[in-house]
Structure 1
């Protein structure tokens, strides 16, 4: 969840960690293609499961949008930090 400027970063890394892009869907082939596209731009793909989880992604994006409109830096992101993922 991020502003357009983040997508111009090569690669999009925050505190030495790649940007995590969360996605969901009901079609496994489509999800594999999406994961590949996400990884092609040096982000970490995180499959949240079935399409029913899309309703949870939208409010998360709304939080970032609210922060951006409140004056936060355009590089403010909602990133998933996992201990098992090593920093770059």
Structure 2
């Protein structure tokens, strides 16, 4: 992976993670670094699932792929915030 690919993955991860946090209701007590990690994993997982479903490469904006990525980020944020909330 090139340096530009790494920076792109970080930026996309931040955006997807932030959208995932917005979808989940209530306050989430997780750090920005954890949000970034969840966003990167969700973006990769959403792209993988979209590829399996055959909707990864469409003309224009890939709305289904984006919805999958945000959905996975929301699931990751809710699981992580729920696990960290029980520990405190």
TM-score range, shorter chain: 0.3 to 0.5
With the length of structure 2 as denominator, give the TM-score of the two structures.
Answer: 0.34
| Higher share in strand | 1
Task: Compute the TM-score of the two structures, normalised by the length of structure 1.
Answer: 0.34
Structure of higher RCO (CA pairs closer than 8 Å, 6+ residues apart): 1
